[in-house]
Amino acid sequence: MKANESLVYSSTEKVSGWKLFIKTIVARSYPRIIGQQREKSWIFFEVFMPMLAVSAYVFVYRAIGAPEEYVGFVVIGGAMTAFWMNVLWSMSSQLYWEKEQGNLALYIMAPNSLMAVLLGMALGGMVATALRAAAIVVLGTFLFNVQFTVTSFSQLFAVFLLAMTALYGMGMMSASLFLLLSREAWHISNLAQEPIYLASGFYFPIKSFNFWIAAAASFIPLTLGLDAMRQLIFPSGASLGFLNVTTEISVLIVLCVVFLIGARFLLDYMERLAIREGRITENRR
C-alpha cells in the first residue's frame, strides 16, 4: 500500500524551475520534429528553392569577374538565410498565429515560461533548418567548387553559437511586439524578410556599405555573425571584414545579453497584460 502511495505521489509531483523549462522545450519541439518527417515534400522545397537564389548570385558574380571568395560568401549567406527564416516564422510570428488558432490563452494560463514555449518551437524547426543549411553548403561546395580554409575552429564555433543565441533572443523579443501589433504582424514579417537579406549582407561583404550603415546593420546578430564566419573560413575574408573577429565576438556577447533580457521583459509584460486585461488573447474584430 505504501509503495502504491509513493508511486502515485511521485507521478503527480509538480515540476518547476529549470526542470519545467527544459520539459517545456522538449514538449514543444517534439511535434515539429515529427511533422518534418511526415511531410517529405517539404525537405525538397526547403533545399531546392534556396539553391536557386544562391545560384543566381553566383552566376552574377562570375559574370562580372568578382573575386572567387564572393562565391563562397554567397554559399555561406544562403545557408544562414535558413536560420533567419526559422526565427522570422517560427518565433517572431508564432504567438500571433497561436492567438489566431485559439491556443494563446492556454499558453498564458500554463505554469511554464513563454520563453520555453518559443524556444521549443524554434528548436523543433531547427531540424529542417539545419538540414537546409547543410544541404546548401554541401551542394554549393561541390557545384561551385568553393574552397574553405578555417583558421580557428574554436572561434568559428563561438561565433556561430553567439550569433544563434542573439538571433533567437531577438526572435523571442519580437514575438511579443508582433503579437501586440495583432494582424499587422503578417505584413511586418513579409516586410522584414528582404531588407534583412540586404542589411545583413547575406550575399556580399557588409564592408561594402558605409561605416555607419554597416554599424547600424550590426544591430541584427546575423550581420556580425556572417562577417566573422567569412573571415574565419576564407583566406581573404579578413581583408573584406567589417571589424576584426575579436571585436565582433564581443559585440555579439553584448547583443545576446540585451536581446535575452529584452525578451524576458517583453514576454513578462505581455503575459501580465493578457492576464489583467484579456485583450491580447481575445480576438476583437
Angle at 282 between CA 27 and CA 261, to 5 degrees: 55
* Per-residue model confidence as pLDDT tens digits over 142-180: 888 888 888 888 999 999 989 988 888 888 888 777 777
Question: Of the candidates 202, 231, 228, which has an alpha carbon nearest to the alpha carbon of residue 85?
Answer: 202
pTM: 0.81
29-43, 52-66, 107-121: which range is least confident on average? 29-43
Contact assessment for residue 249 and residue 158, using Cβ atoms and an 8 Å cutoff: yes
Mean pLDDT score, 80-94: 76
Cell digits for 125? 524547426
CB atoms within 10 A of CB 45: 11
State pLDDT tens for residues 216-272.
Answer: 888 888 899 999 999 999 887 778 888 899 999 999 999 999 998 988 888 888 777
Residue 5 banded pLDDT, cuts 50, 70, 90:
very low
pLDDT tier at 91 (50, 70, 90 boundaries)? confident
Q: Where are the domains of the chain?
A: 18-277
Instruction: Report the C-alpha gap between 185 and 191 in whole angstroms.
Output: 10
- pLDDT at position 257 is 93
